[in-house]
Amino acid sequence: MTFGDVALLVSAGILAGLASTVAGLASLVSYPALLVTGLSPLAANVTNTTALLFVAVGAAAGSRPELVGQSGRVARFGAATFAGGAVGAALLLTLPAAAFERAVPVLIAGAAVLLWVQPRQLARRGHHLAEDGPVVLGAVFVAGIYLGYFGAGGGIALLAVLAVAIPLPLARVNAIKNVSSGFANLVAAAGFAVFGPVRWAAVAPLAAGLLIGGAVGPLIARRLPAGILRGVIGLAALGLAASLAWRAYG
């Protein structure tokens, strides 16, 4: 790990932390940066997931106003992502990734479309979902599997589900997503630390950047109108879906 690699990972971590807390797209920045330093795709993936735990720590500190009174939701959704993250990490360590990676672009594109549909419109059409019901918790669990397995775009999928189910401004829902997704990263990181090829020399600088970006990101999300935030996230998701589709099917 050269000085240039360290500088790259710190910078990428800051940008990824901002991208995660604002749009749920940390891995769009951090994963390619790890590949640039010479890590294999598998090593980059598990190293990235391990470092992403620090986004949740920074986001929890930076999103305190949005998280007031949300401890019950964080605990409920965090438990679901924790369980899903454990399954996803186990799948990554035991199964080939090709089939799942082919489904990823479709899942992310679908999440983008879901984000563009206003929750109130869904409710008017009879599609309101109870946030503590089995459908929502099951969807959060599946998002946790995705976060533990690959992660890129998993925050968008989780945010899409929560935005439909939780009757709060998007900035507050985004804060719940940021912290809840950290539980999936926590259990996945624990598994990867024991069984995966984590590159700890890369985790340290990337995690430092992610911690900074995760703390600053909520300040930006807090000042963006919900419509603009929803549109930016959706466009970024489609861009990521196209990039992953090119890699998976090209």
pLDDT in tens, 180-190: 988 998 999 99
Comparison of pLDDT for 41 and 104, the residue scoring more? 41
- Report residue 73's pLDDT band, with 50, 70 and 90 as the boundaries: very high
CA distances from 223 to 18, 56, 211, 216, 227 (A): 14, 20, 20, 12, 12
Q: Is the pLDDT confidence value at 47 over 50? A: yes
DSSP calls for 18-75:
HHHHHHS-HHHHHHHHHHHTT--HHHHHHHHHHHHHHHHHHHHHHTHHHHTT-HHHHH
Q: Mean pLDDT, to the nearest integer, of 67-88? A: 93
pLDDT of residue 113 exceeding 80: no
Closest CA to 46 of 96, 92, 102, 82: 92
Contacts of 165 (CB under 8 A, 6+ apart): 119, 129, 130, 131, 136
Spatial distance between the Cα atoms of 109 and 119, rounded to a whole number of angstroms: 18
Residue 122: its pLDDT value, please? 46
| Residue 126 pLDDT grade (very low, low, confident, very high; cuts 50, 70, 90) | very low
Instruction: Indicate the domain borders of the chain.
Output: 3-249
User: Cβ atoms within 10 A of the Cβ of 119, count?
Assistant: 21
In angstroms, the CA 168 to CA 232 distance is 19
- Is the confidence at residue 194, as pLDDT, over 80? yes
Per residue in 224-244, pLDDT (tens digit) is 676 676 677 677 778 877 877
Work out the mean pLDDT of the chain and round it to a whole number: 82
> Residue 121 pLDDT > 70, yes or no?
no
Quote the pTM value.
0.77
